[in-house]
Structure 1
Amino acid sequence: MTEPLVYIVDDDDDLREAVLDTLEDAGLPATGFCSANLALPQLNPEWPGVVVSDIRMPGMGGMEFLRAAQDQYPEVPFVMITGHGDVQTAISAMKAGAFDFLEKPTRPEYLVDVVRRALEMRRLQIENSNLKNIVAGGGALKTRLIGRSKVMRALRKEILAVAPLKVDILLLGETGTGKELAAQCIHDLSPGAETQFQTLNCGTLTEDKWLTEIEARLGGADGGVLFLDELEALPEPLQLRLLALIEVRGIDGPRIIASLQTDPSQLIADGRLRADLFYRINVAQISLPPLTERENDLFVLLEFFIRDAVARHRLKLPEITQEMLKPLRAHTWPGNVRELRNVAEKMVIGLPLSLSAGTSDAKAPFGTEDSYDDAMARFEKAMLRYALMQAGGRKGIAAESLGIPRKRLYLRLKALGLD
């Protein structure tokens, strides 16, 4: 028997059977429950399905059911069915974590569309969770340092070679190439993977912080890895003190992995890096390639970041056209993989990219100080205002142009304070 992908929870027998028939006709296996008390024990964090629940039910109501499920299984999507013109309850359900809501009576095609979108989001969540479990367990290196290019295959081979050895390592690479991720991979693939991985940005270290941030950690006897990011940013007097501490570090002291963004010979010539410190740490040297040297990895990474953002933000996959990809091919990517991740976030959220060949990404119109939630809310407000303006203030026409039910437009306007 096929595992049901949809649980229909409604005390109205006729409505529950009608919804089940609609979903079965659409090829979506579903099962029904007459109460939330019966449905709640059937949920589990690995179930790949979605719950469609009425809000008003005897006993445990839909809102109580949603909150109970959110406490135990927060990733399971809920689609709430509302009637009686209960706008405020529907808004509360969305704020409580519901994926969407349906108003009685619901058009069958709209019901199927909402459920399919919720199932796609759930599939991406599970896929993302599985990937994170692989990563957390120090699984296959290619699932962490993603890429099919020759340079990435060579990088993974180098990391696998040095990870088991208790030697200090110097990572070279431009900003955004993933130096901290590489250091974490080295730690996780080493025999001491259960020990602590600590990161320090040398640009933030001062004389006052030196004792607590460096001496205490280097003097410890619990092994692990101390990752010193942007070593060239450490003031020269502190570089000398670091060298002295490394020299007297015990056999059980932490392994040092340091990173540089610039060619070390140039840094030494400019007086920004002590030669003796460089030679002491540079037992093994690994270079992380910039994105422009990674052949077709750009689009492999873009797809991965888009799917990751979709799962995290609970949004649908954006439509990507060849026209949208053209400026990405010509871009020089000064921010490398980090910049590409931000581009994927903007694609999923719906923010303009404003990329042009040979330049860095232009500032987002909503300001870099905005959180993603704030940026999304401001973008949605702008979109709704534009739709209403184009429709001459007529909400029915605006809802039709946006492809959403009129009731949904009213709710979004109210939720955003635009009513």
Structure 2
Amino acid sequence: MQNWIEEYPLLQDLIKMEEILWINPDYDAKNDKSTLTNHDILKANQRLQRFAPYIETVFPETASSKGIIESPLVEINKMKESLEQNYHLNIPGTLLLKCDHALPISGSIKARGGIYEVLKHAEELALNHGLLKTTDSYIKFASSEFRQFFSSYKIAVGSTGNLGLSIGIMSAQLGFQVTVHMSLDAKQWKKELLRSKGVHVIEYPSDYSKAVEEGRKQAEADPTCYFIDDENSQDLFLGYAVIASRLKKQLQNLNIPVDKEHPLFIYLPCGVGGGPGGITFGLKKEFGEHVHCFFAEPTHSPCFLIGQMTGLQDKVSVFDFGLDNRTDADGLAVGRPSRFVGKTIGHMLSGCYTVQDQKLYTLLRELADQENIFLEPSALAGFLGPIQLILQSEGKKFLVNQHLHKNMEKATHIVWATGGSMVPNHVMEEYYRRGASNHVMSNDSISNRN
């Protein structure tokens, strides 16, 4: 361990579970060695467009977007002012929230990649069995004939919660038999919601990696079962990457440019890496060197940071450093990162930072008070990003080295809200209490939450 610390001094603070900021020494926005391309993202986007009439039919909440699963991008000036007061600093530029907590169907960032891969698998089955042509109206996926057809097939996934929700809800709607293997960290309400949709939930007294391992093992033994692999799936990855062109349009609608003089900073909560990795990949393809992505992890579960810092990816886990992987940020409770994601976006990632659980609750309460927006704890991790970048010496060096410091007043910061709208009111009230000092939110306030 001493040798590790000598080579990577930041590990000393990480082992103590202190909040740290790590700047990626391999960051090179122009060094793209990935085999995935813009064309792959385009094909994913086209597939989602084909499914839009079906989505609009079976999920009426998507009617306003005509079956496209997307979330708002909003300015949060009151929260920005509150952060500046609490941390005694100025956040230069504009602070926005990407509201993936409000995504329809499953209420989290996982509605992107998870739902996309389920739809892709369903399309391939239908095409291979002569039930579909890509020129058909995909409304036919809502027919009893298609549901009967899919009922002979199975889908499985390992999850800490939100990925299981998105895959379980979408798969069950199509007619698949669905099994979600859930880790110890998964919230009870998520398990109950899945079961109410007809999803088979298997619970494990261990962490995320074990749930994935068991799910993969059972699926391999059944030729009718398709396993969605959060650790290695290119389809999940591309489902997330589709956001880039959409975000560009949202920024244009807000008259916010992204270029050398107007840098864009993105702060993404990270578990195994698939969601933030896919989004980073898409954004880098869209904005190149003008976008800078940072991943946020709990102090107890900084698996992606460790994998990137050491270069060992999934060959090393948080347990190797005496960390326990126990965090209330259930979507981020992952002990070992995705090797596929780490290798794919390692040179695209600007850095990682860690955040303590209690701070997530404090930020949760502050966002509710200031903006009437309610997120689950893990979704608040992004808010510490601009604070770390401005306060930490390594953050200041990054801004100077990347020639960004002179243009920060024209910068745009986007905190990615990864989940929260489906959290039951009584659970959200408890989250709020944990973040409040001598203050209890009223039931009316909770009931009126966004």
Q: Which has the larger radius of gyration?
A: 1
**TM-score of the two chains, using structure 1 as the length reference:** 0.32
TM-score, structure 2 as length reference: 0.30
